Amino acid sequence: MRTPGGRSSGECLTRRTALHCLALSSMAGLLGEGRRAFATEADGARPREGDRLAAEDAEGNPKALKLQDVKIGDKPLGAFPFNPADGIKREGSRLNRIILVRFDSRDLTPDQLARSVDGVFAFSGVCPHRGCDVTEWNDKDRMILCYCHLSQFDPRDQGAVFAGPAPRPLPILPLKSEQGEIVIAGEFSSEPGGAKAID
Ligand code: FES
């Protein structure tokens, strides 16, 4: 193994070089701790502008989602934020779960279309009622559905509550696209997560 000074452990033989190697090893340990702390902080950080939305491929590696991966009328597609520059998957916090739904652009008003990217909308995947995973779809009304207590959210109205006990809208995440990939364009409209106590 090599230390940051390029000295191998086999070279740490004399008392003088041993002390030198000990100092370098400690420094390497501190640098490693720093990198681990940074990675932990970064992968739990909220999605930020420029992150891709990704899913895992068959080997568990992040694969940036493209617009055509989100099908019109399908149930919500789960995704997580991913920074391709440093390879960090922001999966350290469950509150970073994101879901994507898509509408035919011709069915959207100009305002709705402006809040989407080519008809694709992104929302928090955590229900603001009691924090269940939001995974389902009411195809008849075209609403996002949380099965825990049947709250429904309107993707075309910025996640407004359409039915059920949820006390507030599902946070929406602004999007843009680059070379066909879905890219995060800003922060959640409000803090994701469920209420701690509900009457
Ligand atoms: S946790 Fe989603 S409706 Fe209650």
Per-residue pLDDT at 84: 83
Is the beta carbon of 148 within 6 A of some atom in ligand 1?
A: yes
**Residue of 73, 74, 91 whose CA lies nearest to 82:** 91
69 CA distance to ligand 1 middle (Å): 27
**CB atoms closer than 10 angstroms to residue 9:** 11
Does the beta carbon of 122 lie inside 6 Å of ligand 1? no
The tens place of each residue's pLDDT in the chain, 199 residues long, gives: 444 444 444 444 445 544 443 444 444 444 444 444 445 556 777 888 999 999 988 888 889 999 999 999 999 999 999 988 887 888 778 899 999 999 999 999 999 999 999 999 999 999 999 999 999 999 999 999 999 999 999 999 999 999 999 999 999 999 999 999 999 999 999 999 998 644 3
Dist. CA 137 → ligand 1 center (Å)? 14
The model's pTM is 0.78
Closest residue CA from atom 4 of ligand 1: 149
SS3 assignment, position 178: strand
| Buried/exposed 93-121: b ≥16 CB within 10 Å, e otherwise | bebbbbbbbbbeeeebeeebbebbbebbb
Q: Check: CB of residue 20 under 8 Å from CB of residue 27.
A: no
144 lines ligand 1 (CB under 6 A): no
Q: Please state which of the four CATH numbers 2.102.10.10, 3.40.50.1370, 1.10.260.40, 3.30.300.30 is assigned to the domain occupying 52-184.
A: 2.102.10.10
Atom of ligand 1 nearest to the CA of 194: 1
Q: Is the CB of 163 within 6 Å of ligand 1? A: no
Please list the alpha-helical segments (H only) found in the chain.
Answer: 15-44, 110-115
Ligand 1 centroid distance, CA of 197 (Å):
12
- Give the residue, out of 130, 134, 199, with the most ligand 1 atoms within 8 A of its beta carbon, to mutate for a pocket test: 130
DSSP string, 64-86: E-BGGGS-TTPPPEEEEEEETTT
Q: Rounded to whole angstroms, how far apart are CA atoms 145 and 118?
A: 22
**Atom 3 of ligand 1 has which residue's CA nearest to it?**
149
Instruction: Tell me the domain boundaries of the chain.
Output: 9-44, 52-184
pLDDT for res 41: 58
